[in-house]
Amino acid sequence: MRIELVKRPQQSVLFSVLSPFIALALTLIAGALLFLLLGKDPVNTLYVFFIEPLRETWSLHELAVKAAPLILIAIGLSVCFLSNNWNIGAEGQFIIGAMAGSILPVMFPDFQSWIVLPLMLLMGIAGGAAYAAVPAVLKVRFNTNEILTSLMLVYVAQLFLDWMVRGPWRNPEGFNFPETRSFHEYAILPEIWSASGRAHWGFIFGLVAALALWFMMTKTLRGFEIKVLGQSPRAGRFAGFSQGRIVFFAFLLSGALAGLAGLSEVSGAIGQLRPVISPGYGFTAIIVAFLGRLNPLGVVAAGLVLALTYLGGEAAQISVGLSDKVVRVFQGMILFFVLAGDTFIHYRIRFVSAPAAAAGEASRANV
């Protein structure tokens, strides 16, 4: 038996709406099998993983805390991916943004004023954008593959953070723990509704950015330019769009948003710098971007789903004794199923049994 693809005359609207849901359903089925394999009751574990975290107010707040960086990074990445620029170094831009924004509270702890937080946000954005500018410059100027350079810079950023936190930026009153001093009150990103939980303004930033970029992509010339250059660089050039400018735009935008995400995370959720400040948000955001079908509004929903896997992983570890490593397997599976599902948007699948195929060839030969 053979699988044949038949190109659809038009993209299937049905499948482009359904494919993320099909992917999630398949992930749940595969997840249930995985739990069974690990000797856990699949139904109960799925319940703990995906329903329990949604039942209490405080954990809804936690969901927003986890979703904030994912959404912020992923909307930037989806614009980037749409323009056919493969920035996969968001994790590094996240770290550098967080570090740039932390300069004020860590190095100048006595500078305490309401202006500190806005400055930190700007510095975080600038830091992330500057770090993303490196692969963009190398791509435009030297034709260097941006996938490899942006990824290499992740490792460099991680090592740089590790050094700063253990070395120059270590808290002088911190008993030699590898962490910076805790941010003072003016450097903390406020909680949205502190009476009920921890969710901070990073989540709001994510929603605002999603709306803004949705507007840009659907209603402005810039959005059109990005899509045209992404799908057909040649057609874009004929239209007078500059490839190089879009490379910079896409990288700076996604870097800036990743930097904002990093700063929001350290200032809103952690309150200081540590050797590791992200459980791989920059990479998980790639999955978020694809699950959201590279649409800023879709990304918000997808960000909540992926945030749920983090929470579910924690819950399942506590109540079912499941390894927290399962989370990353889950996330990887989602991306696989999403990508496979996208095939159905453009193609119809036909299963051809071997004899029939041979008969088909024979009849064609007769013609």
Partner 1 sequence: MFEAILITIATAATPLLLASMGELVVERSGVLNLGVEGMMIMGAVTGFGVAAMTGSAWLGVFAAAIVGTLFSLLFGFLTLTLVTNQVATGLSLTLLGLGLSSMIGESFVGRAGVRLGALDIPYLTEIPYIGRLIFGQDPLCYISLLLTAGVSWFLFRTRAGLTLRSVGDNHSSAHALGIPVIRIRYLAVMFGGACAGLAGAYLSLVYVPQWVENMTAGRGWIALALVVFASWRPWRVLAGAYLFGAVTIGQLHAQALGYGIPPQLLSSLPYLATIIVLVLISRNRRLTMMNTPASLGRPFVPDR
Query: Quick one: angle between helices 296-319 and 57-82, nearest 10?
Result: 140
Q: Judged by CB under 8 A, does residue 318 bind partner 1?
A: no
Q: Which stretch binds partner 1 (CB under 8 A): 120-128, 172-180, 205-213, 336-344?
A: 336-344
Selected from 151, 187, 229, 285, the binder of partner 1 by CB under 8 A is 151
Selected from 14, 25, 51, 159, the binder of partner 1 by CB under 8 A is 159
Cα angle 103, 164, 106 (rounded to 5 degrees) comes to 30
Question: Of 277, 275, 278, 294, whose CA–CA distance to 335 is shortest?
Answer: 294
Q: Judged by CB under 8 A, does residue 121 bind partner 1?
A: no
- For 318, what's the count of Cα atoms within 13 Å in the CB-facing half-sphere? 9
Q: Report the alpha-carbon distance of residue 261 to residue 223 in Å, rounded.
A: 22
Amino acid at 287: I
Nearer to partner 1, 186 or 347 (CB): 347
List the x/- string, 265-294, binding to partner 1 by CB under 8 A: ------------------x--xx--x----
User: Cβ distance 281 to 269 under 8 Å?
Assistant: no
Selected from 47, 111, 160, 224, the binder of partner 1 by CB under 8 A is 160
Cα 227 to Cα 75, 78, 241, 291: the distances in Å are 15, 11, 11, 18
Q: Judged by CB under 8 A, does residue 343 bind partner 1?
A: yes
Q: Judged by CB under 8 A, does residue 192 bind partner 1?
A: no
Nearer to partner 1, 81 or 241 (CB): 81
Q: How far is the CB of 25 from partner 1 (least distance, A)?
A: 17
Q: Judged by CB under 8 A, does residue 176 bind partner 1?
A: no
Instruction: Give the burial string for 54-71 (b: 16+ CB within 10 Å, else e).
Output: eeeeebbbbbbbbbbbbb
Nearer to partner 1, 194 or 323 (CB): 323
Q: Judged by CB under 8 A, does residue 145 bind partner 1?
A: yes
**Residue 347, SS3?**
strand
Q: Which stretch binds partner 1 (CB under 8 A): 13-21, 71-79, 215-223, 342-350?
A: 342-350
User: Cβ distance 297 to 74 under 8 Å?
Assistant: no
Q: Report the alpha-carbon distance of residue 220 to residue 222 in Å, rounded.
A: 5
DSSP symbols for 183-225: PPGGGSPPBSSTTT---BHHHHHHHHHHHHHHHHHHHSHHHHH
Q: Judged by CB under 8 A, does residue 162 bind partner 1?
A: yes
Q: Judged by CB under 8 A, does residue 163 bind partner 1?
A: yes
Q: Judged by CB under 8 A, does residue 342 bind partner 1?
A: yes
Selected from 233, 271, 279, 332, the binder of partner 1 by CB under 8 A is 332
Q: How far is the CB of 343 from partner 1 (least distance, A)?
A: 4
User: Cβ distance 164 to 255 under 8 Å?
Assistant: no
Q: Which stretch binds partner 1 (CB under 8 A): 180-188, 234-242, 299-307, 331-339?
A: 331-339
The total number of residues written for the chain in this structure: 367
Q: How far is the CB of 351 from partner 1 (least distance, A)?
A: 11
Q: Judged by CB under 8 A, does residue 119 bind partner 1?
A: no
Distance of CA 204 to the CA centre of its chain: 16
Q: Judged by CB under 8 A, does residue 156 bind partner 1?
A: yes
List the x/- string, 63-102, binding to partner 1 by CB under 8 A: ------------------x----x-x--------------
In the block, which residue shows the tokens 């702890």? 109
Q: How far is the CB of 61 from partner 1 (least distance, A)?
A: 26
- For 255, what's the count of Cα atoms within 13 Å in the CB-facing half-sphere? 30
Interface with partner 1 (CB under 8 A):
3-5, 7, 81, 86, 88, 138, 141-145, 147-149, 151-153, 155-156, 159-160, 162-163, 166-167, 283, 286-287, 290, 323, 325-333, 335-336, 339-340, 342-343, 347
